[in-house]
Amino acid sequence: MPMTSKTDRHIALADKYGAHNYHPLPVVVARARGPFVWDVEGKRYFDFLSAYSALNQGHNHPKIVAAAKKQLGLVALTSRAFHNERLGPFLELLCKATGMERALPMNSGAEAVETAIKAMRLWGYRSKNVPAGKAEIIVCSENFHGRTTTIVGFSSDRSSSEGFGPATPGFKTIPYGNAAALEKAIGPNTVGFLFEPIQGEAGVIIPPEGWLTAVRAICSEKRVLMCADEIQTGLGRTGKLFACEHEDVKPDLYILGKALSGGLYPVSAVCAGDEVLGLFTPGTHGSTFGGSPLAAAVGLAALKAILDERLPQKSAKTGAYLKSQLETLEHPNLKDVRGRGLMLALEFKTRVRPLVESLMRLGLLAKDTHENTIRFAPPLNLTEAQAKEAFALIKKAVVDFPS
Ligand SMILES: Cc1ncc(COP(=O)(O)O)c(C=O)c1O
């Protein structure tokens, strides 16, 4: 019988027993630290995906791990049927960081998006007198907000939505980055506008300058809630604490997730004013694990790390350096280099999966989005020396990428 590697054995097992809803790179990660992961064969890689931006603080950040370990020695879960010591301090810091009055903790990003949808609808019925069952939310083409049935129902990506209908009613789609379309789409029953300040899964799509400012003005004028899904762009990823800050805009709702736990545990939240989140009453929403002592301890330490270690500023600086390096790349099929902070992308005229695989062989993990685009999103505390070393790998892979 032919010898198989550890890597092959692990992949074969997952292939045999798992649902095939992902197409992972053929690497089996065994451990990680900071911007690096090591596979089961002992090979080291730069992690330039950061679990789709859940690892802004780097893998196994010592202070977040210490907070989790300490909490595990005390109590992990109470449910919200009882109070716990960690929740208050976590919510307080979350409100201070977002400038909002209240925060509602959940687990996954999609759950937080669902929570925001419920909050906007509730606000519409209670505060805007929208007739029962008629609330409408405007969303953007090419959006990515998660995988629940309601969310995929308003996705324009057919591979996300096809086969999972019927779609939940109450959503209207407009082109991304188009303020005039938003103004036109708003009707008397519109309660909210849900958007990503930069579209991550669509391939790091940056809206035209001034769009966020225009959205803010339109939403305020028409009494529509402006709801920023900053699950991927937030918490320093784009070089500011929140991507809306690039235009000094404050939305009515922030949706956060991913890096809110530094990758240790699923922690998400919706942050908004009292006029929105104050409408929830006991029994109208909840989650067994959301806001648990462990989640709150991890969330508090993760948020502190971002603020104390000035990760948004580091992301801006290292991101500017890395982008300037990427802009020096030459390849006949290279179409665009774009991004903000450490949310960067190279778009080619051809499929980039072979480039992604050659980067993996060279020791750098990144992922293609939408076939022709490769996204680079390393942990935000990547040093300039590490960025230099990683860029050398990217350059080599691009030079060798057949045209
Ligand atoms: C902007 C945005 N919203 C929501 C989600 C969904 O988050 P989760 O996978 O934690 O449900 C993602 C995940 O990639 C995202 O990028």
Q: What is the pLDDT of residues 341-383, one digit of tens each?
A: 999 999 999 999 999 999 999 999 999 998 999 999 999 999 9
Has domain 62-308 been given CATH number 3.40.640.10?
Answer: yes
Residue spans of the domains in the chain: they are 6-57+311-400, 62-308
Ligand 1 atom nearest residue 110's Cα: 11
> Which residue puts its alpha carbon closest to atom 10 of ligand 1?
109
Fold agreement between 6-57+311-400 and 62-308: no
What gap in Å lies between CA 288 and CA 81, rounded to an integer? 9
pLDDT in tens, 222-262: 999 999 999 999 999 999 999 999 999 999 999 999 999 99
pLDDT in tens, 67-109: 999 999 999 999 999 999 999 999 999 999 999 999 999 999 9
Ligand 1 atom nearest residue 255's Cα: 3
**CATH among 3.30.1180.20, 3.90.1150.10, 3.40.50.300, 3.40.50.10470 for 6-57+311-400:** 3.90.1150.10
Residue 128: how many CA atoms within 13 Å on its side-chain side?
23
Question: Which active-site residues does the annotation give?
Answer: 144, 229, 258
Binding pocket residue ranges, ligand 1, CB within 6 Å: 52, 108-110, 113, 144-146, 196, 200-201, 229, 231-232, 257
> Which residue puts its alpha carbon closest to atom 7 of ligand 1?
109
> Which residue puts its alpha carbon closest to atom 4 of ligand 1?
145
> What pLDDT shows up at residue 2?
58
Report how far ligand 1's centroid is from the alpha carbon of 54 (Å): 10
> Which residue puts its alpha carbon closest to atom 13 of ligand 1?
146
326: which residues sit within 8 A by CB, 6+ positions away?
337, 344, 346, 376, 391, 394
Residue to mutate, 22, 117, 144, ligand 1, most ligand atoms under 8 Å from C-beta: 144
pTM: 0.98
Report how far ligand 1's centroid is from the alpha carbon of 268 (Å): 10
